[in-house]
């Protein structure tokens, strides 16, 4: 057997699996989003009719869709910068020549990343309890009055942002730390000799060198944030006042609670569109920044 034939043989199983269980379903979802596929369709395909763009039109008319979009965008716009900022601070601290026990801290700060999201959401639900939660207890000892984190429409999504930052900052911290370690130390020495202060060094050496990596990290983080689902499912079930219904949560409810698989597919494609659009936007914004 020639290497070329062997090559095809070696990739065939994986390509077949991806074709059957990924590419085909994506195409099918596009078709599905143009049909009235529901629980009767699930039983018998003959019950399915093409309805054109009706699912999309209906979606745009539903207040819950706009609410879900707004909630998701809030989570993205507040959560992503906060998460990346905490990651950057943690990475800078770990990279400081003054820090001790770096390996230990690195492991500790990374631990939430490997935990099960559904399980830590259960834990946080109790940490955020209005009366018996330790977060409010801590706040009250600092003089703040208790917040009804998961019961108040204004605070539920910020509470989920809090959990999400805690859970995820370690991931980007590791990547940014690798980026910081790759900056040649001569650059810092030259800056010091020129009399640059800590802030100037950070602003003119660290940040620009880290630029491409920060862009990549925020794109990946953004994609993950658009896919918020488990936290509201476990902690709030979309409430209070539907303020934690995310786009993916809406897709789940449409598709697998009400069995409107057609409508659910339309929601999924809208989500994809938004993720794609935001990624392009971010790349372009950073390009303009980079050349300015």
Partner 1 sequence: MRPRLGFLGVNAALVLLAALTLFPLAWMVCASLMAPGEASTYPPPVLPASATLENYRVLFAEHGLVRQAFNSLLISLLATVLSLIFNLSAGYAFAKLRFWGRERIFRLLLGALVVPGQITMMPLFFMLKRMGLVNSTPGVLVPWLASVFGIYLVKHYAQSIPDELLEAARLDGAGEGRIFLRVVLPLLKPIVVTLAVLAFMGSWNDFMWPLIVLTDRDMQTLPVALATLSREHVQDVELMMAGAAITVLPVLLLFFALQRYYMQGLLVGSVKG
Pick the closer one to partner 1 by CB: 125 or 243. Answer: 125
Nearest approach in angstroms of CB 130 to partner 1 is 11
Q: Look-up: residue for tokens 């409430």?
A: 239
**Exposure b/e, 3-28, CB count within 10 A at least 16 = b:** eeeeeeeeeeeeeeeeeeeeeeeeee
Pick the closer one to partner 1 by CB: 123 or 285. Answer: 123
Angle between helices 261-291 and 24-32 (to 10 degrees): 110
Pick the closer one to partner 1 by CB: 64 or 117. Answer: 117
Pick the closer one to partner 1 by CB: 116 or 185. Answer: 116
Task: Give the number of other CB atoms < 10 A from CB of residue 105.
Answer: 14
Listed in sequence order, the residues at least 6 apart from 56 whose beta carbon sits closer than 8 Å to its beta carbon are: 33, 266, 270
Q: Look-up: residue for tokens 């994809």?
A: 272
φ/ψ (deg, to 5) at 118: -65, -35
Nearest approach in angstroms of CB 292 to partner 1 is 26
What does the alpha-carbon distance between residue 63 and residue 71 come to, in Å, rounded to a whole number?
A: 12
Pick the closer one to partner 1 by CB: 57 or 273. Answer: 273
Pick the closer one to partner 1 by CB: 3 or 143. Answer: 3
Listed in sequence order, the residues at least 6 apart from 263 whose beta carbon sits closer than 8 Å to its beta carbon are: 55, 58, 59, 254, 255
């Amino acid at each position: 057997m020639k290497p070329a034939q062997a090559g095809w043989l070696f990739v065939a199983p994986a390509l077949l699996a991806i074709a059957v269980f990924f590419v085909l379903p994506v195409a099918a979802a596009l078709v599905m989003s143009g049909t009235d596929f529901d629980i009767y369709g699930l039983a018998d395909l003959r019950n399915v009719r093409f309805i054109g763009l009706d699912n999309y039109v209906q979606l745009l008319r539903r207040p819950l869709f706009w609410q879900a979009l707004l909630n998701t965008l809030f989570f993205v716009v507040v959560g992503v910068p906060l998460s990346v900022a905490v990651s950057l601070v943690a990475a800078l601290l770990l990279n400081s020549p003054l820090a001790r026990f770096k390996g230990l801290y690195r492991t500790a700060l990374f631990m939430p990343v490997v935990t099960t999201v559904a399980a830590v959401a259960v834990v946080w639900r109790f940490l955020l309890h209005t009366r018996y939660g330790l977060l409010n207890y801590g706040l009250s000892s600092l003089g703040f009055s208790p917040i009804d984190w998961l019961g108040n429409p204004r605070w539920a999504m910020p509470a989920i942002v809090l959990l999400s930052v805690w859970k995820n900052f370690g991931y980007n911290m590791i990547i940014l730390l690798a980026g910081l370690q790759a900056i040649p130390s001569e650059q810092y020495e030259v800056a010091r000799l020129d009399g640059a202060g800590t802030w100037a060094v950070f602003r003119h050496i660290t940040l620009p060198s880290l630029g491409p990596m920060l862009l990549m990290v925020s794109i990946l983080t953004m994609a993950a944030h658009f896919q918020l689902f488990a936290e509201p499912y476990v902690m709030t079930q979309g409430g209070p006042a539907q303020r934690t219904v995310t786009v993916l949560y809406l897709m789940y409810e449409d598709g697998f609670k009400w069995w409107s698989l057609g409508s659910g597919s339309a929601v999924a494609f809208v989500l994809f569109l938004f993720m794609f659009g935001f990624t392009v936007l971010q790349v372009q914004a950073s390009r303009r920044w980079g050349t300015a």
